[in-house]
Amino acid sequence: MLAPKAFLDALSDQASRLFSGDTSQPRAELESQFKALLQSGFSKLELVSREEFDSQMVVLARTRARLEALEAKVAEMEARLSPAATE
């Protein structure tokens, strides 16, 4: 993975080459090439989609809730065992 500054520098260099000089390419073609350039750059950053992030947040929240429930059960069991151990 590239460092953010190196990534932006590389992206800037590629964009400069794409848009430099007198180009006879239509605007739609330039936009298409620039979009492909950005997608290529973003893929190197190992980003996740918003949908994937949201689904992982749901899984994390569910896992935390289950962990808290288990911790409460363990604390309850330990509390029941403590008086029995002192008798």
Asked if 36 and 63 sit in the same domain, the reply is no
The predicted structure's pLDDT at residue 10: 77
In tens, the pLDDT along 22-42 reads 666 676 777 787 788 778 777
Number of domains in the chain: 2
Asked if 29 and 59 sit in the same domain, the reply is no
Asked if 41 and 1 sit in the same domain, the reply is yes
User: Which domain does 23 fall in, by range?
Assistant: 1-47
Asked if 8 and 43 sit in the same domain, the reply is yes
Asked if 13 and 30 sit in the same domain, the reply is yes
Asked if 6 and 42 sit in the same domain, the reply is yes
Task: Return the exposure string of 10-47: e unless at least 16 CB atoms fall within 10 Å of the residue's CB, then b.
Answer: ebeebeeeeeeeeeeeeeeeeeeeeeebeeebeeeeee
The answer to whether 66 and 50 are in contact (CB under 8 A) is no
In tens, the pLDDT along 50-71 reads 999 999 999 999 999 999 999 9
CA 46 to each of CA 1, 31, 40, 49, 80: distance values in angstroms, whole numbers, following the listed order: 8, 23, 11, 10, 49
For residue 6, pLDDT beyond 90? no
Asked if 76 and 52 sit in the same domain, the reply is yes
The predicted structure's pLDDT at residue 2: 60
